[in-house]
C-alpha cells in the first residue's frame, strides 16, 4: 500500500538477529501488524501491537513502535533458515481495513 | 472449518471469459475480506463484508468485479470479461474481531491468457 513503506530486501546470517523496518502515514491507525508469507502460501499473522504500546515481545519476536515517527520494526532473534520469507507490515485504519506495505524479502544464509 | 479455504487454488482462463473465485471463511467469523496481490507487491484491498452486506467495496477496480456473500458465510468473487491485467493472487481473509488480525487463506492464483 502506498501509505506503508518497507525496505525490499534483507540478507542475514543464520543465528544473527534480523531487523525489518516499516513506516506508516495514518496517525489514526489503532493496531499495527506483522505478517509472514512463504512461497506459494497465504499470509500468516506473526504478531501485532496496539498503538499505545512501545514494545511487544513474543518469544523470538520483538516489535518496537515509535508512534511519533510512525515507525515500526520487527526484530527476529537467532534467525533460522525457516525464517526466510516475505514479511509484511500492515496498519488497521478506523475503517477496519488493513493496508499493507510491499513486503521485505528476508534471506537467511548459512 | 479450521482455516480459511479458497478454491480453486489455481485458475487459468482466456481473456474475455467469466470467472468465479470461492472463499469459505472460518466458521463464526462475521467479517470477510478480499484482497488482490500482484507479483512483488503487498495485498491490496478489494472489498469487505460484515455479515451478508458489503460494508466497503471501494477497492473493486471497476464494474467487472463483483462479490457476494448471500448467507453471511461463503463468499464468491466474480470477474466478468477478464483481462490480462487481472492476473494476480486473490486472497480471502476472515476475522471475528478485526483488531485481532485477519486469518488469510492460501489464495487463488488467477492467470488470464
Q: Per-residue pLDDT tens for B54-99?
A: 889 999 999 999 999 999 999 999 999 999 999 999 999 999 988 8
Contact of B17 with B82, CB cutoff 8 Å: yes
pLDDT digits (tens, 9 = 90+) for B92-107: 999 998 888 899 999 9
Q: Name the closest residue on chain A to residue B47, using Cα atoms.
A: A97
Length of chain B: 113
Nearest to B56 among A35, A92, A97 (CB): A97
Model pLDDT, residue A1: 42
Model pLDDT, residue B1: 53
Helices marked H in B1-113: none
Give, as one character, the DSSP assignment of residue B113.
-
pLDDT digits (tens, 9 = 90+) for B33-44: 999 999 989 999
Candidates B101, B102, B106, B109: best to mutate against A (most CBs of A within 10 A) is B101
**Residue B23 scores a pLDDT above 60:** yes
For residue B34, give the nearest of B11, B14, B16, B54 by alpha carbon: B54
Amino acid at each position: 500500500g502506498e501509505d506503508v513503506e518497507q525496505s525490499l530486501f534483507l540478507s542475514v546470517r543464520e543465528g544473527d538477529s534480523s531487523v525489518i523496518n516499516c513506516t506508516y502515514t495514518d496517525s489514526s491507525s489503532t493496531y499495527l501488524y506483522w505478517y509472514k508469507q512463504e512461497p506459494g502460501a497465504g499470509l500468516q499473522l506473526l504478531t501485532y501491537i496496539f498503538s499505545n504500546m512501545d514494545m511487544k515481545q513474543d518469544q523470538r519476536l520483538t516489535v518496537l513502535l515509535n508512534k511519533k515517527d510512525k515507525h515500526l520494526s520487527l526484530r527476529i532473534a537467532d534467525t533460522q533458515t525457516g525464517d526466510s520469507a516475505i514479511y509484511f507490515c500492515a496498519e488497521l485504519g478506523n475503517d477496519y481495513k488493513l493496508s499493507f506495505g510491499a513486503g521485505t524479502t528476508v534471506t537467511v544464509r548459512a | 472449518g479450521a482455516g480459511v479455504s479458497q478454491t480453486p487454488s489455481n485458475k487459468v482462463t482466456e481473456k474475455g471469459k467469466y470467472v468465479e473465485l470461492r472463499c469459505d471463511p472460518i466458521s463464526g467469523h462475521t467479517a470477510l475480506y478480499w484482497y488482490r496481490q500482484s507479483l512483488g507487491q503487498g495485498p491490496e484491498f478489494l472489498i469487505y463484508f460484515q455479515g451478508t452486506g458489503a460494508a466497503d467495496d471501494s477497492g473493486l477496480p471497476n464494474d467487472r468485479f463483483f462479490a457476494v456473500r448471500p448467507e453471511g458465510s461463503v463468499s464468491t468473487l466474480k470477474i466478468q470479461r477478464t483481462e490480462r491485467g487481472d492476473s494476480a493472487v486473490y486472497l480471502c481473509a476472515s476475522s471475528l474481531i478485526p483488531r485481532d488480525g485477519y486469518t488469510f487463506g492460501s489464495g487463488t492464483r488467477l492467470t488470464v491468457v
